Amino acid sequence: MNQWITTTQLLEELKATRNASAWDEFCRHFQPVVVNFARQLGLSQTDAEDAAQETMAAFFKAFEGGKYDRARGRLSSWLFGVAKRVILNLRGRRPLEQLIADKTSGTSFWDLIEDDNSIQQTWENQWRQMVLKSCLEQARREFDSKVVTAFELYGLRGIGVEDVCRQLEMSRNAVYIAKSRVLSRLRTLANQFE
């Protein structure tokens, strides 16, 4: 699917059809979030991919069993809980010596302990990046490529307006308008997505 889809639409399609394309779209959006989250919590790329697959499978099983209730929380919170449990279980299976060796900050036992707030923040950062990526993909479909490029250069990368003007042969006002229009649309898309 290359069309804009919200988490609500995706969950409704999964519930209604249970077909492979809906599941593939779900995994396309959310599996990379879990992989990146697991990597930041210290898993290797292979273990992170395993954790993501296990998280997706656990979600799908619970979803099919009717255990996911949107009224009790957002999808991001629910996936966070599943992913955290899976990742911490995988990490717990690794030998203590390997856990210590993998840490670059030292060998103290306390360096291995992460508080729930930092784990939650790591997840939220990964989730926001996925939402931004999805929203940018949609904005690229809706806006002229020059407008989106101006936004990315000036609004995201912090390149000076004069440099963006020269590079894209746009006026200052056009760069400012591009940033404003795309940013406004991204905000709307992010609200729709979640």
pLDDT tens column, 165-183: 999 999 999 999 999 999 9
Judged on CB neighbours under 10 Å (0-12, 13-18, 19+), 187 is: exposed
Read off the pLDDT of each residue in 67-82 and give the average, rounded to a whole number.
Answer: 82
Please report where in the chains the tokens 């989730």 appear, as a residue.
Answer: 127
Q: How far apart are CA 13 and CA 133, in angstroms?
A: 22
Q: Which fold has domain 143-194?
A: Arc Repressor Mutant, subunit A (1.10.10)
Whether the per-residue pLDDT at 34 is higher than 60: the answer is yes
Q: How would you label 57-76 residue by residue, b for 16+ Cβ within 10 Å and e otherwise?
A: ebbbeebeeeebeeeeeebb
pLDDT tier at 96 (50, 70, 90 boundaries)? very low
User: Nearest CA to 90 among 159, 42, 141?
Assistant: 42
pLDDT tens column, 106-141: 444 434 445 677 888 888 888 888 888 889 999 999
Read off the pLDDT of each residue in 82-103 and give the average, rounded to a whole number.
Answer: 67
